[in-house]
Every structure is written in structure tokens, then in C-alpha cells.
Amino acid sequence: MRLQPEHLATLLAIVDTGTFDAAARRLHVTPSAVSQRVKALEAEVGQVVVVRTAPCRATSAGEALVRLARQQSLLESEALAGLAHDDRVRVDLPIVVSADSMSTWFGAVLTEAASWDDVVLRLRVEDQDHSARLLRSGEVLGAVTSDPTPVQGCSTETLVTMRYLPVATPQLLERHRSGRRIDWGGMPLVRFNDKDDIQQRILDRHGVTSGPPTHEVPDGGGFVTAVRSGLGWGALLTTQLAPLLQTGELVRLGSRDHVDVQLYWQRWRLPSAHLDRLSDTVRRASARGGIRPSGT
């Protein structure tokens, strides 16, 4: 059995764009042609490769083919870029980064990448505990993740440790404190989304079994704003907190409570000069501007 390159490219386009119609526009063919190619691919492998949901997603069998298609696309585009004398030829590099990394040290990666005329970065923002899933599915080539276990076919290296401290406005704390005790079970909290478990880790340490009022603010800047406004308490990065603690706008909840998250860079093991350069840049940006734990 030999898989047809155009069939793999079509599956990749569907996963990247989310719909058959959008894939057809990317490939400059009709939606009917996209559908026919998928049916032909499924007939070749004898399995369903894509679930026709909104957005479309690859099945387990389809994920293996997406990884193959992504690898072929990267190597082919690099080969063409090396042969071409057209500066408009660019290599596509899809990666996933956590929101907190994006708002802090990863900005240095973007600054350096701004001078690259031979790549297109496609960033996805995902919680660091869940970004490895995108590597497994073949949707990205690299990931800033908290998972140290390499995805099959990937390498991993240690980046930085990010320290989070639980804080609140003095007014919110005063309403939910009795003497020196904090009512962790009753004080509202703010979390990024339903995948954000950093606040829950702190509650678990204090033996809280009931769910306190929980606000969701899935935006990095908005999350900080929500905590500063007194909507609820939240765990913020040490670099975000320094000026807010100095002015008294926010106060720490407990002198020793904190959560450390170790980050790693995972990337596919491919002979790719462009992916190598990106990895080098991530490594240097992490070492230069990363968040490392201060003393407790």
C-alpha cells in the first residue's frame, strides 16, 4: 500500500482549517474533491481518519497520518526553500505555547523570529498541562509543555520553572478571613479555564473539598485584571506580582503557599534547520528571560 501525497495533504488541510470547505479553499479545489480524497484515503487504510465534527478532528488512525503529512510538508517545504530564489517561500512552523509563557519570556522568541524571512509561525495558546496532546495528534511541531515525558518521535529538554503565588485584594481577603484563618472554601477564585488547576492545587493543600465560587477569565491580561479588581483570588506569576505587592494593591495568601510549574520544550526529531533554529531561540529566550523561583 502506498499513500497518495495529495490525500495526506488534504487530511492535513482539514485538521489545520477545521472544515472541508476551508480545506478546499486552502488547496484551491472544490469541497467535493476534498471529500473524495478523504474517502479514497479511508479506503486505502481501511479506517475512518477524520471525524466530521465542528471543527473536524482526526481519529486515532488519522492522527498517525497527520503526523506523517506534517513531516512530509516540513521536509518538502524546506527542500523547496533551499532550491528557490524567491524570498516569499516560507516554511510553516506550527507550535503551541502556554498563555503565561506568551505573556512573559516567550516574547523574546517572537522578537527574534520577526527577523526571519523564511518561516511562518502559527502559534496556538494552550494550557501547559495539555499541550503535549497537540504533539501526539500531529497538529504542532513543537510545544512548551509541563510534561517531561517525550511524545513518541519527539525530544524534550528542560526550560524554566515558573512560580505562582496565591494573591487577592486586601478587601477580598478581609471579607473572607476570621482572625488569621482564611475561608478558602468560601472565598471566590479566578481561573483561566477549566483546564487551569493551579488554584485547585492550593485548595487541595488546605483540605478544601467543596467548590468555592469560581470565575473563568480565559485571557492572560484579563485574568490579572480580574484578580486586581477583587473578583476573586488567583495564583499569579512572581514577575507579574512584584509591583502589585509593593504598592499593597494585592496581598499574598499565606507566606509559604506557592505552586511551581516546570516547563519543557518538546519538538519532533526531524532533520530540520528551521525547527533547529526555533529550538535554539526558545532555549536562549528561556534562559535569558525565564521565571525562576525566588525564595519562599
- Final residue before a domain boundary, out of 66, 87, 108: 87
Residue 153 counted as domain residue = no
Summary mean pLDDT of the chain: 90
* Confidence at residue 89, expressed as pLDDT on a 0 to 100 scale: 73
Instruction: Name the band, by pLDDT with cuts 50, 70 and 90, for residue 294.
Output: very low
Give Cβ neighbours of residue 266 (< 8 Å, ≥ 6 apart): 132, 135, 142, 143, 145, 147, 150, 151, 154, 155, 156
**What are the backbone angles phi and psi of residue 225, rounded to the nearest 5°?**
-60, -40
* Confidence at residue 215, expressed as pLDDT on a 0 to 100 scale: 97
The proportion of the chain whose per-residue pLDDT surpasses 90, expressed as a percent, equals 71
CATH of residue 41's domain is: 1.10.10.10
Residue 156 counted as domain residue = no
Mean pLDDT of 43-53: 93
* Confidence at residue 132, expressed as pLDDT on a 0 to 100 scale: 81
Number of domains in the chain: 2
Mean pLDDT of 236-246: 91
Residues 166 and 253 in one domain: yes
- Final residue before a domain boundary, out of 35, 54, 87: 87
Query: How deeply is 54 buried, as exposed, middle or buried, from its count of CB atoms within 10 A (0-12, 13-18, 19+)?
Result: exposed
* Confidence at residue 86, expressed as pLDDT on a 0 to 100 scale: 58
Condensed to tens digits (0 to 9), the pLDDT of residues 189-206 reads 999 988 889 999 999 999
Q: Which domain holds residue 248?
A: 162-260
- Final residue before a domain boundary, out of 33, 57, 87: 87
Condensed to tens digits (0 to 9), the pLDDT of residues 56-111 reads 999 999 999 999 999 998 888 888 777 766 566 789 999 999 888 998 899 999 99
Residue 32 counted as domain residue = yes
CATH of residue 170's domain is: 3.40.190.10
- 111 vs 254, which has greater pLDDT? 111
Question: What does pTM read for this prediction?
Answer: 0.79
pLDDT at 180 over 70: yes
* Confidence at residue 293, expressed as pLDDT on a 0 to 100 scale: 44
Residue 93 counted as domain residue = no
